[in-house]
Copies of this chain bind each other. A is one copy, B any other.
Amino acid sequence: MYNEDRPKEECGILGVYAPGRDVARLSFFGLYALQHRGQEGAGIVTSDGEYAYVHKGLGLVSQVFNEVNLKPLKGHIAIGHNRYSTTGSSNERNTSPYLIETIDGPLGVSHNGNLTNTITLRRMLLKRGVGLSSTTDSEVITQLLAAPPETWLDGYMLDIDGDFLDLWQHRIKTLMQLAEGAYSLTILTRNALYGVRDPLGMRPLCLGKLDGDGWVLASESCALGTIGATYVREIEPGEIVRIDETGVQSIIGKKSPRRALCIFEYVYFARPDTLLEDQNVHLVRQRLGRQLARETHIDADIVIGVPDSATPAAIGYAQEAGLPYTEGLTKNRYIGRTFIQPDDKLRKDSVHVKYNPLEANLKGKRVIVVDDSIVRGNTSGPLVALLREGGAKEVHVRVSSPPIRHPCFMGVDMATYKQLIAHRMDISAICQHIGADSLDYLSLPGMIKAVMEGLTDQSRGHCTACFSGDYPVAIPQALFEEDGSNVTFTGAWGH
């Protein structure tokens, strides 16, 4: 089947604190709005102040939940999770959120991101005698939180500053000293909801307010409107918020001199109606397109985008270049996953399963087609061929982000070094490979400029590692060698 050449986000997370409301139902609709961040599994955990309740499963949110299994999820606190995972490990065992019993009551954890020192942390847990039942670092985080810090191995002493911390804040803060990499968390305990972001703020997390009666935490602000909440602010990098009957309390979990929000959230992941760093993603994408036009423009008749994600950049490009924007490709909107394989004759046309050219708009035209990124480079060629088949006289590919030359180890399923086309080829070779008349990418400074333009704090940094190779955290050598795949320390699972 046709697979889009796109990086894959690892997860969407959610938290709701709303006495008097049906928090499981709110979570359902919130996860529905975050569905683009993970389609392989979904789950909700709730607490009614005494007991905790859980339901999770494989598939889309709308497939996992129905009125029958939603009903028992009682309470006024909830966390939710949409999971993306690579094919190999999409099994029940790895579904989130996790819910465990601890000495201090129930603990539920939803996690977006990827730790870079998972192997060390797994070993720490295993040595302490904790058996692990999955390969996820979400379970590692959950089990690390289960223990009172004083029981942690190796007499690890924490340099906790002077805050008065509750039981769980203490543990979360301790966890943040140990964990390296990217993590946004929503955590449920018997009586409170916590939201956490790693010190670099690599994965997003924001806070919203329900009309008079509660609070919402979500990976993206687009989920707030869906459930009738209004945007309040982002959770700060390194911040821990606790939400309970007394309201929202904030402490610093771990400070960092730098910020490193994943810039790919702007380029592709986030929904265009989401706010990141208080600026609208759609607008940033238009600016990326404008900047792209400034840097790479070539004479042409029309500008089109690869639907749907590249449309804002294409609109921006067209406006800047003073060329007509139109649609050149139709996308089949019914993306129900299929495992039917095309036969040999069809295989070379497999891009046709998803796209058809709009001959009426393309015929005889010199076409600039804007895409947001090229990862492996296996679909750009067929798309170019499709546009020519549709009558385009020239096809000029413009990419609204720089060449991707490095894998991600912080929670994005990008590709391995060997798979990244821009790691193996230079731009002219790629252009030839995909059969375009010309190919150009946005520059790294250009991308950063377009992003920064909407920010008041011009000192903010972002993670651009996949473009620049400048990783904001140390990456263990093993991960480079293993290409970042999840590693079971002792090799417990064969599948």
Taking beta carbons and an 8 Å cutoff, which residues of A are in contact with B? 21-22, 25-26, 28-29, 32-33, 35-36, 39, 48, 50-54, 60-63, 65-67, 70, 72, 74, 92-93, 98-107, 122-123, 126-133, 142-143, 145-148, 151-152, 211, 222, 225-228, 271-273, 279-280, 282-283, 286, 308, 311-312, 315, 319, 324-327, 330, 332-343, 345-346, 349, 352-353, 356-361, 488-495
Do residues B280 and A493 form an inter-chain contact, with CB atoms below 8 A?
no
Do residues A99 and B492 form an inter-chain contact, with CB atoms below 8 A?
yes
Name the contact of A353 in the complex, choosing from B106, B226, B286 (C-beta under 8 A).
B226
Residues in B whose Cβ lies below 8 Å from that of A126: 101-103, 146
Do residues B101 and A128 form an inter-chain contact, with CB atoms below 8 A?
no
Name 13 interchain pairs, CB-CB below 8 A, sorted by A. Answer: A21-B343, A25-B340, A26-B343, A70-B340, A98-B133, A100-B132, A101-B488, A129-B151, A222-B330, A225-B352, A225-B356, A280-B360, A315-B325
A127 to B128, CA, bound (A): 12
What is the CB-to-nearest-CB distance from A128 to chain B, in angstroms, rounded to a whole number?
6
How many copies are assembled? 4
A436 to B308, CA, bound (A): 28
Known: A353-B29, A356-B273. A493 touches B52 (CB 8 A): yes
What is the CB-to-nearest-CB distance from A222 to chain B, in angstroms, rounded to a whole number?
5
What is the CB-to-nearest-CB distance from A276 to chain B, in angstroms, rounded to a whole number?
12
What is the CB-to-nearest-CB distance from A464 to chain B, in angstroms, rounded to a whole number?
23
Known: A273-B357, A491-B51. A332 touches B131 (CB 8 A): no
Do residues A26 and B346 form an inter-chain contact, with CB atoms below 8 A?
yes
Do residues A74 and B332 form an inter-chain contact, with CB atoms below 8 A?
no
What is the CB-to-nearest-CB distance from A362 to chain B, in angstroms, rounded to a whole number?
10
Residues in B whose Cβ lies below 8 Å from that of A352: 225-228
Residues in B whose Cβ lies below 8 Å from that of A130: 129-131, 143, 146-147
Do residues B53 and A493 form an inter-chain contact, with CB atoms below 8 A?
yes
Do residues B282 and A358 form an inter-chain contact, with CB atoms below 8 A?
yes
Known: A50-B491, A340-B25. A345 touches B32 (CB 8 A): no
Residues in B whose Cβ lies below 8 Å from that of A74: 494
Most chain B beta-carbon neighbours within 10 Å: one of A26, A102, A107: A102
Known: A104-B490, A495-B72. A353 touches B32 (CB 8 A): yes
Do residues B283 and A361 form an inter-chain contact, with CB atoms below 8 A?
yes
A48 to B62, CA, bound (A): 36
Do residues A340 and B39 form an inter-chain contact, with CB atoms below 8 A?
no
What is the CB-to-nearest-CB distance from A472 to chain B, in angstroms, rounded to a whole number?
28
Known: A358-B280, A491-B51. A60 touches B334 (CB 8 A): yes
Q: A271 — nearest CB in chain B belongs to which residue? A: B330
